[in-house]
Amino acid sequence: MTEENVIEIHNLQKTYDKGKIKALNGIDLEIKKGEFISIMGPSGSGKSTLLNMIGALDRAEEGTIKVAGIDLMKTRDLSEFRSQEIGFVFQMHNLIPNLSVLENVEIPMYETRVKSEEMRRRALELLEAVGLKDKADKNPTKLSGGERQRVAIARALVNHPSIILADEPTGALDSKTGDVILNLLKSLHSKKQVTLVMVTHEPYVAEMADRILHVLDGKINNSS
Amino acid sequence: MIKNPFRNRTRATLAIIGIAIGIATIVALGMVTGGLQSSTQSTLKAGSAEITVTKIGNFGSSGGVMDESMVTDLKNTNGVKDTAGILRINSNVSTSSGGSGFGSMGGFLVNGIDSSKLALVGINSVNGTIFTNGSSNEIIIGKTVAQNLNKTVGSKIDIYGTEFEVTGIFESGNFIYDIGVFTSLSTLQNLTNNTGKVSYIQVKVNDNANASQVSKTIQDERPNDLSATTAVDQANRINQSLGMIDTASWAISLLAIVIGGVGVINTMIMSVFERTREIGVLKAVGWKDRRILGMILGESIVLTLVAAVVGIILGIVAVEIIFKFFITSQSFEAVLTMDTLLKAFGVALLVGIVGGLYPAYRASRLAPTEALRYE
């Protein structure tokens, strides 16, 4: 792995349903540190599976995958890797409804050795960065869709990950709110110099990236 | 973790009620056995006699009387400090012959004893004054009798057609005595045609003597005549019965654990099921399986500990109500011991762990991608 590449994938294969469905059929991919990548493709093409592989939410059967210097095929407990290197932003914000906005942002830090005052300080700093500091004590159910997604972004960044994985982060939002979220992601990406990999359906969203990957039938078709 | 178990209020409440009823049963039974135990223990209290001597085949019944001279005989036995002869008449038997006061009472004992020997039956203090020996109309009554008959110092009580004046009310701490009355031995002997007779003899041993040994000596010297039992023996016998109640209470505890455990498993599985996505998110942000296991287990324990508190309060209230309205003769009081409390919390904790373990394990083993996809 060269120092520049934060993600290196070779011939990655993943099947579901006892081999009947080939979700990934030999993916080769290199992503440089600090890059903003969009992954496009039709439903069922394997783009979300690819994202899950990078985020170590699932394991591949064959091939190699190294992320942030860690061999994901060989590492047994991947929770620490997820905690330290990856920040997820889902289509559905997936906030925990009975915790406050602040507590939701603090959740990823429970697995680290960060002290509680520092947890609070970091979470508030990020909530300020996404413009929601004044809603820190509110319940997420009281927020709008866009606001919730901003909380989810703050949560994704709180452990200073090297990579943000966003799975259709604007999919559940109207286009205006979606733009706000995209601009926020883009600006945080450049400000924090974090690698951003985003799965999307929409070409105009994908256009914002440095590079667009097209996934079809579990393979990368071409990149532009 | 504290808030999570109560997200679904109805379900949490139902689960808590289920466990709380089990805990309440444990507490109520514990309080009753605790109360019986403490009244048993008080028969062994300092100052009172250690050995009870009766005629063979009879205990405390008016038919089994023996000669009063035995009281002095026994006092000369090696190791004996003091003896007291007591004539005990069951008021139930004799009131039918004409007593007007006790006919309705039932199961109430009239004892005759030398007033200087009251300490031997555990009566160390009397509210009022004690009776004088040989006087024909003075009596002291146990606090239970006083409560049941609504008598105070100065009240009159009719026994075998003779009017007695209550000079004092005593509390011996032994519920058998507290449901009886004491008067002068000679008065009762004359009144019941038992002159020179006693029902049983209380024997107090020397401080350095062994009660069991003295008891054996008394028994061995008059093998066909007397039977001697130490208070320890009696207490042991009562404790054996209490042991059975205790076993029953453990069986109920076990049942509570099983029923409560199933309820907790159900509640927690539903809770995990509903929060599948959330658990997926926690995994995605790097929570270890162990932490998720701990979280669900912790929630389950929070649920059962709340149930323990509710159950303990419920149990105490239930016992208080039963004792206040249904057990009118207050022969003993329910006692809440530390043991009972610890047992209640112990059972709750166990139910929490047993019931939470499987749902917690399932939650910790969820595949993150599937959990996140869960609708």
Is the pLDDT score of B59 beyond 60?
no
Residue B67 phi, psi (nearest 5): -70, 140
B283 vs A99: CA distance, rounded Å: 17
* Residue contact A86–B286, C-beta within 8 A: yes
Contact A148, A95 (CB under 8 A): yes
pLDDT band at residue B317 using 50, 70 and 90 as cut-offs: very high
On whether residue A9 sits in a domain, the answer given is no
What integer pLDDT is reported at residue B40 of this predicted model? Answer: 61
A186 vs B104: CA distance, rounded Å: 94
Six-digit token pair at A186?
A: 């883009």
pLDDT band at residue B332 using 50, 70 and 90 as cut-offs: low
What integer pLDDT is reported at residue B63 of this predicted model? Answer: 47
Over residues B141-163, mean pLDDT: 83
pLDDT digits (tens, 9 = 90+) for B208-221: 888 888 888 888 88
DSSP string across B127-150: EE-PPPTT-SSEEEEEHHHHHHHT
pLDDT band at residue B302 using 50, 70 and 90 as cut-offs: very high
Is the pLDDT score of B94 beyond 50?
no
What integer pLDDT is reported at residue B291 of this predicted model? Answer: 92
Average pLDDT per consecutive 10 residues, chain A (224 residues; last block may be shorter) = 78 87 88 92 88 91 91 88 91 86 92 89 90 90 90 91 91 84 87 90 88 90 69
Nearest C-alpha of chain A: how many angstroms from B291?
A: 8
3-state SS, residue B303 = helix
Nearest partner of B185 among B126, B106, B132, judged by Cα? B132
Portion 253-312 of B in contact with A at CB < 8 A: 277-278, 280-289, 291
On whether residue A100 sits in a domain, the answer given is yes
- Amino acid found at A7: I
Residues of A in contact with B289 (CB under 8 A): 79
A212 vs B9: CA distance, rounded Å: 48
Contact B30, B339 (CB under 8 A): yes
C-alpha to C-alpha distances, A60 to A73, A74, B222, nearest whole angstrom: 7, 11, 93
A9 vs A73: CA distance, rounded Å: 11
Contact B71, B198 (CB under 8 A): yes
pLDDT digits (tens, 9 = 90+) for A99-133: 899 999 999 998 888 898 999 999 999 899 888 89
Residues of A contacting chain B (CB within 8 angstroms): 52, 55, 57-58, 77, 79-84, 86, 88, 90, 92, 94, 96, 98, 107-108, 110-111, 155, 159
On whether residue A212 sits in a domain, the answer given is yes
User: Which residue of B7, B368, B372 is in closest CB contact with A98?
Assistant: B7
On whether residue A191 sits in a domain, the answer given is yes
- Preferred mutation among A16, A57, A165 to probe B, highest tally of B CBs within 10 A: A57
Nearest residue on chain B to A164, judged by CA atoms? B285
A·B CB contacts under 8 A: 61
A98 vs A188: CA distance, rounded Å: 27
C-alpha to C-alpha distances, B322 to B190, B315, B325, B330, nearest whole angstrom: 42, 11, 5, 11
Torsion angle of the four alpha carbons A137, A138, A144, A150, in this order, in degrees rounded to the nearest 10: 20
Is the pLDDT score of B68 beyond 80?
yes
Nearest C-alpha of chain A: how many angstroms from B313?
A: 29
- Preferred mutation among B274, B278, B281 to probe A, highest tally of A CBs within 10 A: B281
Structural domain boundaries enclosing A94 = 34-43+77-223
Mean pLDDT over all residues of chain B? Answer: 81
Give the H/E segment covering residue B344.
helix B338-365
Portion 126-185 of B in contact with A at CB < 8 A: none
On whether residue A7 sits in a domain, the answer given is no
Is the pLDDT score of B66 beyond 60?
yes
What integer pLDDT is reported at residue B258 of this predicted model? Answer: 86
Is the pLDDT score of B260 beyond 90?
no
Nearest residue on chain B to A104, judged by CA atoms? B282
Q: Which CATH number is A174's domain given?
A: 3.40.50.300
Q: What is the 3-state secondary structure (H, E, C) of A149-172?
A: HHHHHHHHHCCCCCEEEEECCCCC
Q: What is the 3-state secondary structure (H, E, C) of chain A?
A: CCCCEEEEEEEEEEEECCCCEEEEEEEEEEEECCCEEEEECCCCCCHHHHHHHHCCCCCCCEEEEEECCEECCCCCCCHHHHHHHEEEECCCCCCCCCCCHHHHHHHHHHHCCCCHHHHHHHHHHHHHHCCCHHHCCCCHHHCCHHHHHHHHHHHHHCCCCCEEEEECCCCCCCHHHHHHHHHHHHHHHHHHCCEEEEECCCHHHHCCCCEEEEEECCEEEEEC
Nearest partner of B35 among B360, B340, B353, B336, judged by Cα? B336
pLDDT digits (tens, 9 = 90+) for B120-131: 888 878 888 888
Is the pLDDT score of B54 beyond 90?
no
- Preferred mutation among A94, A159, A167 to probe B, highest tally of B CBs within 10 A: A94
What integer pLDDT is reported at residue A120 of this predicted model? Answer: 93
Range among A1-15, B28-42, B81-95, B353-367 with highest mean pLDDT value: B353-367
Residues of A in contact with B281 (CB under 8 A): 88, 90, 94, 96, 107
Six-digit token pair at A203?
A: 């070409």
* Residue contact A98–B4, C-beta within 8 A: yes
Check residues B226 and B91 and name the one with the higher pLDDT: B226
Nearest C-alpha of chain A: how many angstroms from B280?
A: 9
Nearest residue on chain A to B8, judged by CA atoms? A98
From A88-97, B1-10, B159-168, the region with the lowest mean pLDDT:
B1-10
pLDDT > 90 fraction of chain B, expressed in percent and rounded: 18
What integer pLDDT is reported at residue B107 of this predicted model? Answer: 52
* Residue contact A57–B284, C-beta within 8 A: yes
3-state SS, residue B349 = helix
Residue B142 phi, psi (nearest 5): -70, 155
User: Which residue of A52, A83, A98 is in closest CB contact with B285?
Assistant: A83
On whether residue A157 sits in a domain, the answer given is yes
User: Which residue of B278, B286, B367 is in closest CB contact with A82?
Assistant: B286
pLDDT digits (tens, 9 = 90+) for B340-349: 899 899 989 9
On whether residue A109 sits in a domain, the answer given is yes
* Residue contact B284–A83, C-beta within 8 A: no
Q: B365 at the A interface (CB within 8 A)?
A: no
Q: How many domains does chain A have?
A: 1
On whether residue A64 sits in a domain, the answer given is no
Contact A213, A29 (CB under 8 A): yes
Map out the domains of chain B as residue ranges.
4-42+242-373, 57-223
Range among A144-158, B37-51, B112-126 with highest mean pLDDT value: A144-158
Nearest C-alpha of chain A: how many angstroms from B323?
A: 44
3-state SS, residue B207 = coil
